[in-house]
Amino acid sequence: MNTRFTFCMIKPDAFKNDSVSDILLEILKAGFKIRGIKITMLTKGKAEQFYDIHQGKDFFDRLTSFMSSGPVMAMVLERPDAVESLRALIGKTDPAQAAEGTIRRKFGTDTTHNAVHAADSYENAEREWSFFFSKREIY
C-alpha cells in the first residue's frame, strides 16, 4: 500500500468565507505537495455518489445538499503517512470539538460546514481521488 498519497476536498463554506487560500497555506506549511488539484461543482447526484457510505444516515440529505451548493476544491496530496497526517491537521468532524490550531477549528462553523474533507483510509483515498481525477491529471 502506498502511504504517501491522500485525498482532500475544500468545501463550499470555505469558498463562501473566502478562506480557501488560508486553508491551502496550512496544508502546504504542513509539508504536503499538491499532485492533483481542481475546482469543480458537484451536482446533488454526484455528492450522493461521493458520500454513498453515509446513505440512510439522518444527515445525508443535509450533507449532500450543502456539498452541491457551491464550488469544491479536490486535491491529491503527497506526504509520508499522508492519511494520518492530513486527518490530524484538519481535526475532528465537529469544529467545536476539533483541537486548537486544526483547520476545522480555525475555519469550520459546524458539523456540516466544516471547511474540509479528508479521506479516512488509503483505500478510500484512492476511491475518492478517482472520483475526481483521471490518471493523467495526477502527476
Catalytic residue positions? 117
Residue keyed to cell 485525498: 7
Residue 56's region, left for phi above 0, alpha for psi from -120 to 50, else beta, is left
Applying CB under 6 A, the span of 13-21, 70-78, 80-88, 112-120 interacting with ligand CMP comes to 112-120
- Given candidates 3, 69, 109, 112, which one binds ligand CMP under the rule CB under 6 A? 112
Continuous segment of H or E residues that includes residue 97? none
Cα 10 off chain centre by: 5
Does residue number 114 form part of the binding site for ligand CMP (CB under 6 A)? Answer: yes
Interaction residues for ligand CMP, span 52-71 (CB under 6 A): 54, 59, 62-63
Question: Shortest gap between Cβ of 94 and ligand CMP (angstroms)?
Answer: 8
Applying CB under 6 A, the span of 18-26, 27-35, 73-81, 111-119 interacting with ligand CMP comes to 111-119
Give Cβ neighbours of residue 33 (< 8 Å, ≥ 6 apart): 77, 78, 79
Q: How far apart are CA 60 and CA 131, in angstroms?
A: 19
DSSP state for residue 74 in the 8-state scheme? E
Please, which residue, 116 or 135, has the CB nearer to ligand CMP?
Answer: 116
Q: Are 103 and 26 in contact (CB under 8 A)?
A: yes
Does residue number 117 form part of the binding site for ligand CMP (CB under 6 A)? Answer: yes
Contacts with ligand CMP, residue ranges (CB under 6 A): 54, 59, 62-63, 93, 111-112, 114, 117
